Structure 1
Protein backbone atom coordinates (compact mmCIF):
# COMPACT_ATOMS: atom_id res chain seq x y z
CA UNK A 1 0.00 0.00 0.00
CA UNK A 2 3.02 2.32 0.19
CA UNK A 3 2.58 3.62 -3.38
CA UNK A 4 -1.16 4.26 -2.97
CA UNK A 5 -2.29 7.88 -2.68
CA UNK A 6 -5.37 8.82 -0.67
CA UNK A 7 -7.88 10.59 -2.93
CA UNK A 8 -10.99 10.75 -0.75
CA UNK A 9 -13.35 9.25 1.79
CA UNK A 10 -16.67 7.46 1.53
CA UNK A 11 -19.49 9.79 2.60
CA UNK A 12 -22.39 7.41 1.94
CA UNK A 13 -23.30 4.01 0.51
CA UNK A 14 -26.45 3.35 -1.51
CA UNK A 15 -27.02 -0.40 -1.16
CA UNK A 16 -30.00 -0.62 -3.53
CA UNK A 17 -27.83 0.55 -6.47
CA UNK A 18 -24.36 -0.45 -5.22
CA UNK A 19 -22.92 3.06 -5.34
CA UNK A 20 -20.47 4.74 -2.98
CA UNK A 21 -20.67 8.49 -2.40
CA UNK A 22 -17.10 9.74 -2.26
CA UNK A 23 -15.80 13.18 -1.23
CA UNK A 24 -12.65 13.73 -3.29
CA UNK A 25 -9.46 15.44 -2.13
CA UNK A 26 -7.71 14.59 -5.42
CA UNK A 27 -8.82 13.80 -8.98
CA UNK A 28 -10.39 10.53 -10.13
CA UNK A 29 -11.16 9.30 -13.64
CA UNK A 30 -12.70 6.27 -15.32
CA UNK A 31 -10.38 3.27 -15.61
CA UNK A 32 -8.42 4.34 -12.51
CA UNK A 33 -7.72 1.49 -10.10
CA UNK A 34 -8.89 2.28 -6.56
CA UNK A 35 -8.53 0.65 -3.15
CA UNK A 36 -11.27 1.33 -0.58
CA UNK A 37 -10.17 0.47 2.92
CA UNK A 38 -11.77 0.74 6.32
CA UNK A 39 -12.31 -1.13 9.58
CA UNK A 40 -14.14 -4.00 7.83
CA UNK A 41 -13.72 -2.95 4.18
CA UNK A 42 -10.92 -3.96 1.82
CA UNK A 43 -12.00 -3.56 -1.81
CA UNK A 44 -9.82 -3.13 -4.88
CA UNK A 45 -11.43 -2.43 -8.26
CA UNK A 46 -11.26 -0.47 -11.51
CA UNK A 47 -13.56 2.56 -11.75
CA UNK A 48 -16.20 1.86 -14.40
CA UNK A 49 -18.72 4.61 -13.62
CA UNK A 50 -18.46 8.09 -12.06
CA UNK A 51 -21.49 10.31 -11.60
CA UNK A 52 -21.95 13.87 -10.38
CA UNK A 53 -25.57 14.88 -9.68
CA UNK A 54 -26.74 11.68 -11.45
CA UNK A 55 -24.87 12.61 -14.67
CA UNK A 56 -22.14 10.33 -15.99
CA UNK A 57 -18.70 12.00 -16.16
CA UNK A 58 -15.29 10.76 -17.26
CA UNK A 59 -13.31 12.59 -14.59
CA UNK A 60 -13.82 14.45 -11.32
CA UNK A 61 -11.60 16.89 -9.43
CA UNK A 62 -10.61 17.53 -5.83
CA UNK A 63 -13.44 19.08 -3.83
CA UNK A 64 -16.21 17.32 -5.76
CA UNK A 65 -18.58 14.70 -4.38
CA UNK A 66 -19.11 11.78 -6.76
CA UNK A 67 -20.98 8.51 -6.99
CA UNK A 68 -18.89 5.47 -7.96
CA UNK A 69 -20.36 2.04 -8.74
CA UNK A 70 -18.72 -0.48 -6.38
CA UNK A 71 -18.61 -4.28 -6.39
CA UNK A 72 -19.04 -4.71 -2.63
CA UNK A 73 -20.54 -2.88 0.34
CA UNK A 74 -18.44 0.03 1.62
CA UNK A 75 -18.99 2.12 4.72
CA UNK A 76 -19.06 5.80 5.63
CA UNK A 77 -15.59 6.94 6.62
CA UNK A 78 -13.74 4.32 4.53
CA UNK A 79 -10.62 5.76 2.87
CA UNK A 80 -10.28 5.72 -0.91
CA UNK A 81 -6.82 5.32 -2.44
CA UNK A 82 -5.57 5.55 -6.04
CA UNK A 83 -3.50 2.49 -6.98
CA UNK A 84 -0.62 3.31 -9.39
Structure 2
Protein backbone atom coordinates (compact mmCIF):
# COMPACT_ATOMS: atom_id res chain seq x y z
CA UNK A 1 0.00 0.00 0.00
CA UNK A 2 1.19 3.53 -0.79
CA UNK A 3 2.33 5.87 1.95
CA UNK A 4 -0.39 8.16 3.24
CA UNK A 5 -0.11 11.38 5.23
CA UNK A 6 -3.12 12.74 7.10
CA UNK A 7 -4.00 16.27 5.95
CA UNK A 8 -7.38 16.88 7.57
CA UNK A 9 -10.83 15.74 8.59
CA UNK A 10 -14.25 16.08 7.00
CA UNK A 11 -16.30 18.70 8.84
CA UNK A 12 -19.41 18.61 6.65
CA UNK A 13 -20.92 17.04 3.55
CA UNK A 14 -23.20 18.94 1.19
CA UNK A 15 -25.17 16.20 -0.58
CA UNK A 16 -26.93 18.53 -3.04
CA UNK A 17 -23.50 19.67 -4.32
CA UNK A 18 -21.46 16.51 -3.75
CA UNK A 19 -18.95 18.60 -1.81
CA UNK A 20 -17.00 17.76 1.35
CA UNK A 21 -15.99 20.49 3.79
CA UNK A 22 -12.51 19.65 5.07
CA UNK A 23 -10.57 21.23 7.95
CA UNK A 24 -6.89 21.03 7.01
CA UNK A 25 -3.97 20.26 9.33
CA UNK A 26 -1.48 20.21 6.42
CA UNK A 27 -1.33 21.54 2.87
CA UNK A 28 -3.46 20.26 0.01
CA UNK A 29 -3.46 21.25 -3.66
CA UNK A 30 -5.32 20.49 -6.86
CA UNK A 31 -3.97 17.36 -8.49
CA UNK A 32 -3.19 15.64 -5.17
CA UNK A 33 -4.42 12.06 -4.89
CA UNK A 34 -6.39 11.69 -1.64
CA UNK A 35 -7.92 8.89 0.40
CA UNK A 36 -10.94 9.63 2.62
CA UNK A 37 -11.47 7.00 5.27
CA UNK A 38 -14.00 6.53 8.02
CA UNK A 39 -16.23 3.97 9.71
CA UNK A 40 -18.23 3.39 6.50
CA UNK A 41 -16.20 5.54 4.06
CA UNK A 42 -13.33 4.35 1.85
CA UNK A 43 -12.81 6.66 -1.13
CA UNK A 44 -9.72 7.45 -3.22
CA UNK A 45 -9.75 10.21 -5.82
CA UNK A 46 -7.78 13.12 -7.29
CA UNK A 47 -8.57 16.66 -6.09
CA UNK A 48 -9.97 18.35 -9.19
CA UNK A 49 -11.92 21.24 -7.64
CA UNK A 50 -11.14 23.06 -4.39
CA UNK A 51 -12.72 26.21 -2.99
CA UNK A 52 -12.42 28.50 0.00
CA UNK A 53 -15.50 30.67 0.63
CA UNK A 54 -16.88 29.77 -2.83
CA UNK A 55 -13.67 30.99 -4.56
CA UNK A 56 -11.65 28.47 -6.56
CA UNK A 57 -8.12 27.97 -5.18
CA UNK A 58 -5.16 25.90 -6.37
CA UNK A 59 -3.79 25.16 -2.89
CA UNK A 60 -4.59 25.60 0.80
CA UNK A 61 -2.66 25.12 4.02
CA UNK A 62 -2.99 24.04 7.62
CA UNK A 63 -5.73 25.85 9.53
CA UNK A 64 -7.84 26.53 6.44
CA UNK A 65 -11.20 24.98 5.62
CA UNK A 66 -11.82 23.97 2.01
CA UNK A 67 -14.62 22.48 -0.02
CA UNK A 68 -13.75 19.76 -2.51
CA UNK A 69 -15.94 17.93 -4.99
CA UNK A 70 -16.14 14.25 -4.02
CA UNK A 71 -17.26 11.20 -5.97
CA UNK A 72 -19.19 9.58 -3.10
CA UNK A 73 -20.87 10.51 0.16
CA UNK A 74 -18.47 11.23 3.01
CA UNK A 75 -19.25 11.83 6.66
CA UNK A 76 -18.15 14.32 9.32
CA UNK A 77 -15.17 12.92 11.20
CA UNK A 78 -13.81 10.98 8.20
CA UNK A 79 -10.03 11.35 7.91
CA UNK A 80 -8.40 12.74 4.76
CA UNK A 81 -4.98 11.52 3.62
CA UNK A 82 -2.66 12.41 0.72
CA UNK A 83 -1.46 9.30 -1.10
CA UNK A 84 2.28 9.53 -1.78
How high is the TM-score relative to the length of structure 2? 0.98
The number of equivalent residue pairs is 84
2:69 match = 69
RMSD, aligned CA: 0.9
SS of alignment partner, residue 39 of structure 1: coil
- Structure 1 stretches lacking a partner, 5+ long: none
1:58 aligns with 2:58: yes
Tell me if the contact between 2:30 and 2:47 (Cα under 8 Å) persists in the aligned partners.
yes
Q: Distance in 1 between matches of 2:51 and 2:21?
A: 9
- Structure 2 stretches lacking a partner, 5+ long: none
4+ aligned runs moved over 6 Å, structure 1: none
Shift of residue 28, structure 1, vs aligned partner: 0.3
How high is the TM-score relative to the length of structure 1? 0.98
Tell me if the contact between 2:2 and 2:83 (Cα under 8 Å) persists in the aligned partners.
no
Q: Distance in 1 between matches of 2:26 and 2:79?
A: 12
1:11 aligns with 2:33: no
SS of alignment partner, residue 31 of structure 1: coil
